[in-house]
Structure 1
Amino acid sequence: MPEEISPSAVAQWFALFDLGALPHDSTFSFVLSNDPIEHWFYKRNKLRPESLKLELLVPCTGHWRVQLERNDNLYLAQWRPNDDLRIDSEQLRYRKLVKWPRLASLMDFPQLIEQLEKSLDVRFLPHANIGARGVEPETLASNPHLRRWLAPCAQSFGWNWKVQSL
């Protein structure tokens, strides 16, 4: 069943973390990579052509997006509500031949990482960098419910490039 694009879908997702009501005008982001996350922010010269950054962006409006970008711009993949998958690449291999996993729901994000690792033959580091507006990133990083939700893909969490292990 397609996920409704509405603030209520994001509010239901946020409610899983038992943090109270979804803050008005809030946005959340979770970034994973196959290289140390700080390389994407201030050590870009250490990135390899095949370096990947995967970001889940969740605004309170309901229009969440997952974006996978490769450092050499070989492809850009986006997943949006209602099983909307978009692949941008000049190579036919990435547009048509790669079996890209589907993402029907925001709730399934943690499983997407494992599926991408199989499809693209890559390994993401088990670390998620958390960004937030409306809630302190530290509050999210220490939240046991959020940690449980992200457990399939992350065992450590950071904000502003600080790492906090489980």
Structure 2
Amino acid sequence: MQLRIKQRVFAWGDTYDVYDGYGEPKYFVKAEIFAFGHQIHVYNKKTGEEVGSIHQKLLTWLPEFEIVIGGRTYGTISREFTFFRPRYHVDFQNWEVEGDFLGWDYTAYCGGRKVLSVSKELLTWGDTYVLDYAGAADEIPGLMLVLAIDAANCDNN
């Protein structure tokens, strides 16, 4: 299964459109412009209903984000200190996430088994990510993971 996350270039704040594997719009992502830290909201494209949100925790040494799905706190994603390969601690789904040196491609593992992969398309207007995942239960958590990592990388640049 696949999601394609495309950033809108000419928009106020971070805005993304999320498409399914068939190119049909599935989710809409909007970041708050006037907020302390990153505040990102994900909406169902058809119903307009919020399916999840990401809230950056302030006053932390490395980027850390609280994930809310369906109105309930789902867990946190935090960047770990490493010298070369970006690494993230995900305290939900029992995932370990590793990235490449440039921070564009990531893979999530659960118990040593690959759960999902994220790759950034190069030479596109705005950021475009492709999320490949195995099961429907990983769709929303995987999307939240991509958005949180993008926000963390934005802080580092």
Give 1 or 2: higher helix fraction. 1
**Structure number with larger C-alpha Rg:** 1
Q: Give the number of the structure with larger relative contact order, counting CA–CA contacts within 8 Å between residues 6 or more apart.
A: 1
TM-score (normalised: structure 2): 0.31
Query: Which structure has the highest strand share of the two?
Result: 2
TM-score by length of 1: 0.29
